[in-house]
């Protein structure tokens, strides 16, 4: 898991591994144990979470195999329990209009953050990490913020620039 997702990994560990009676040394877990944990998660109606648990376990064992912390990898050959599905839900034009009107009553930074996300189709983490020195003719999303770890340039429509420059006095000209 990426560093910014460690909390989710810890939650999965607590909820889906420890609570399934697998309070044993990681070296002693076998393929059958992995299947039992994943099947239990699927049985409670959370097949996508079962995929995440399988991925987390796999990462844990991949980490441990290299330096010899563990000698075997019980996730090898264990398929993901569920087929990943793409999200296809998008806001309708009416929903976007309603959201836009509601945002006018929010704090200016929150209002601007959501509107910039809507107008640029960028992720929330990226919008929240935006700094004034990232803004020019383009919004340059730095490597450390971009999901793919590559610098990313986003063209800014005049409406986005106007929104940002209205926000500037509110931010006290800080970064």
In tens digits, the chain (175 residues) has pLDDT values of: 444 455 665 666 555 665 455 556 777 788 888 888 889 889 988 888 889 888 888 888 888 888 888 888 898 888 888 887 777 788 899 999 999 999 989 888 889 999 999 999 998 889 989 998 999 889 999 999 888 888 999 999 999 999 998 888 888 767 7
pLDDT value of position 1:
41
Determine contact, residues 153/140, Cβ cutoff 8 Å: yes
Determine contact, residues 155/138, Cβ cutoff 8 Å: yes
Pairing of strands 138-141, 152-155: antiparallel
Counting Cα atoms < 13 Å in the Cβ hemisphere of 10 gives 5
pTM of the predicted protein model: 0.54
Q: Rounded distance, CA 124 to CA 106, Å?
A: 16
pLDDT value of position 89:
82
For helices 158-167 and 108-120, angle between their N-to-C axes, nearest 10 degrees? 160
Q: Rounded distance, CA 82 to CA 51, Å?
A: 6
pLDDT value of position 3:
47
Domain ranges of the chain: 3-65, 93-167
Q: Rounded distance, CA 39 to CA 48, Å?
A: 12
Structure tokens at 114: 């959501």
Structure tokens at 89: 């839900």
Residue 71 DSSP SS3: coil
pLDDT value of position 13:
56
């Amino acid at each position: 898991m990426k560093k910014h997702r460690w909390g989710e990994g810890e939650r999965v560990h607590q909820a889906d591994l420890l609570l399934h009676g697998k309070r044993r040394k990681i070296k002693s877990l076998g393929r059958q144990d992995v299947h039992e944990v994943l099947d239990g998660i699927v049985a409670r109606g959370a097949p996508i979470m079962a995929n995440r648990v399988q991925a987390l376990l796999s990462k844990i064992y991949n980490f441990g195999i290299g330096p010899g912390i563990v000698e075997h990898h019980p996730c090898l050959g264990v398929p993901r329990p569920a087929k990943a599905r793409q999200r296809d839900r998008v806001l309708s034009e009416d929903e976007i209009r309603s959201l836009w009107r509601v945002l006018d009553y929010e704090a200016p930074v929150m209002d601007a953050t959501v509107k910039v996300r809507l107008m640029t189709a960028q992720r929330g983490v990226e919008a929240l990490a935006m700094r004034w020195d990232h803004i020019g003719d383009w919004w340059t999303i730095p490597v450390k913020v971009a999901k793919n770890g590559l610098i990313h340039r986003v063209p800014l429509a005049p409406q986005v620039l106007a929104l940002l420059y209205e926000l500037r006095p509110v931010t006290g000209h800080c970064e």
